[in-house]
Each structure stands twice: as structure tokens, then as C-alpha cells.
Amino acid sequence: MIDLDVSPNDPLVGILLFSLLAVWPFWRILQRAGLRPWYALLVLIPGLGQILVLMVLGHSRWPTLPPLPPKPQPRRPAALATAIGGKRR
């Protein structure tokens, strides 16, 4: 028979408890970012889960963010514009 004698001082118990407590904030962050909140369950993988969730957050597009405005075109100096053949302002 398998003996599952787990004491409260076992480090694995602390890691599991911390992971369970971390699922809810990651779930909310992923929801607000417009991503699938099920990725938050990756936190339950000890040692690697939080890194995986942060990688998903960092390397994916967030659909809820507005699109970036177009970059302004740089203005050419007046002397350069007239030399090229443009009108002087």
C-alpha cells in the first residue's frame, strides 16, 4: 500500500498552496487582456507554470488593446525640399 504521509512542513505543500492562490489573479489578468483564462491553470505546474503564463502574456497579442496610431512622417527641411523639387512653404 502507498503511504501518503504529507506533513504541513513539506515544501511541496507550500508550493502547491502558493500555486492555487496564484491561479485567480492570473485568471483575471488573462481575461482582461482578452486571452483565454484557462492558461492560468498552467500555474499549477510547480516551478515552471508561472514562467509559462508570463511568456503567454508577454508574447501574444492582446485583443482588447486599441490599435497603434500611425507613425508621423518626418518633415524634411525646407532647403532639402526645394532642392528635390518640392514647393517651399
Q: pLDDT for 6-35, tens place per residue?
A: 677 777 778 778 888 888 998 998 898 888
pLDDT at 73: 81
Secondary structure of residue 70 in the 3-state scheme = coil
CA-based nearest residue to 89, from 79, 78, 76: 78
- Cell 485568471 sits on residue: 27
The per-residue DSSP string of 14-46 comes to HHHHHHHHHHHHHHHHHHHTTS-GGGGGGGGST
pLDDT at 80 over 70: no
